[in-house]
Structure 1
Amino acid sequence: MAIRNMTVATRSLDADMTVDEFKEWLRRFDTDRDGRISREELRRAMRAIRARFTGWRSRQGISYADADGDGYIDDSEVDGLIEFAQKNLGLKIVAY
């Protein structure tokens, strides 16, 4: 069951979220509104879920998901970031 109406700061790592909810949540950290997630924006997202070692993990996440090597995660690369988040951050992202 997906948890709805939770704020970014209080989202639990134990709660399931759908792929669409994850994408919407991630978009909140796109501070420059360019449609891509930078390493710093990813780091802020990780801090919001109280992940540890966010500098290292954000670097790893970008490296893992950035298929074209430009240093950003765009819409076509979000699936790789979802896979990284499930494996390395303990997030439960389901396809509803």
Structure 2
Amino acid sequence: MAIRNMTVATTRSLDGDMTVDEFKEWLRRFDVDRDGRISRDELRRAMRAIRARFTGWRSRQGISYADADGDGYIDDGEVDGLIEYAQKSLGLRIVAY
């Protein structure tokens, strides 16, 4: 499970491709309040874990891109939009196996 030889703060190394399910599981680790949604701050922490740059701006853009209902959070129904954003803007390789 991986993303271009980056080390994640959750003690897991991400190398190569990641499936959609693996991405969702990885993202859940950053859902600090366990509400089943990803906030901008939680998304920023996930981006920092993969050592992305400009995480404040990118997390704002990611929420804006994927948040279909405009509530400021990414829920299960909006994760596909976040996956698309992650592939385009963060260079993550997420595949459907």
TM-score (norm 2): 0.88
TM-superposed deviation, 1:72: 0.1
Identity of aligned residues (%): 93
Runs of 4+ in 1 over 6 A off after TM superposition: 1-7
TM-superposed deviation, 1:7: 7.1
Structure 1 residues 36-61: Cα deviation after superposition (integer angstroms, max 9, x where no partner): 00000000000000000000000000
TM-superposed deviation, 1:2: 6.5
Number of aligned pairs? 96
For 2:5 and 2:14, the matched residues in 1 are separated by 15
Q: Name whichever of 5-14 and 26-35 sits farther off.
A: 5-14
Counterparts in 2 of 1:63 and 1:88: CA distance versus 1, 3 Å = same
TM-superposed deviation, 1:15: 1.7
For 1:56 and 1:3, the matched residues in 2 are separated by 21
TM-superposed deviation, 1:8: 3.4
- CA-atom RMSD in angstroms: 2.9
For residue 7 of structure 1, give the secondary structure of its aligned residue in structure 2.
strand
Contact between 1:2 and 1:15, CA under 8 Å: does it hold in 2? yes
Equivalent position of 2:25 in the other structure: 24
Counterparts in 2 of 1:50 and 1:6: CA distance versus 1, 3 Å = closer
Counterparts in 2 of 1:21 and 1:85: CA distance versus 1, 3 Å = same
Q: Which has the higher contact order (CA 8 A, sep 6+)?
A: 1
For residue 12 of structure 1, give the secondary structure of its aligned residue in structure 2.
strand
Q: Which has the higher strand share?
A: 2
Structure 2 unaligned residues grouped into runs of 5+: none
TM-superposed deviation, 1:71: 0.1
Counterparts in 2 of 1:37 and 1:16: CA distance versus 1, 3 Å = same
Contact between 2:4 and 2:92, CA under 8 Å: does it hold in 1? no
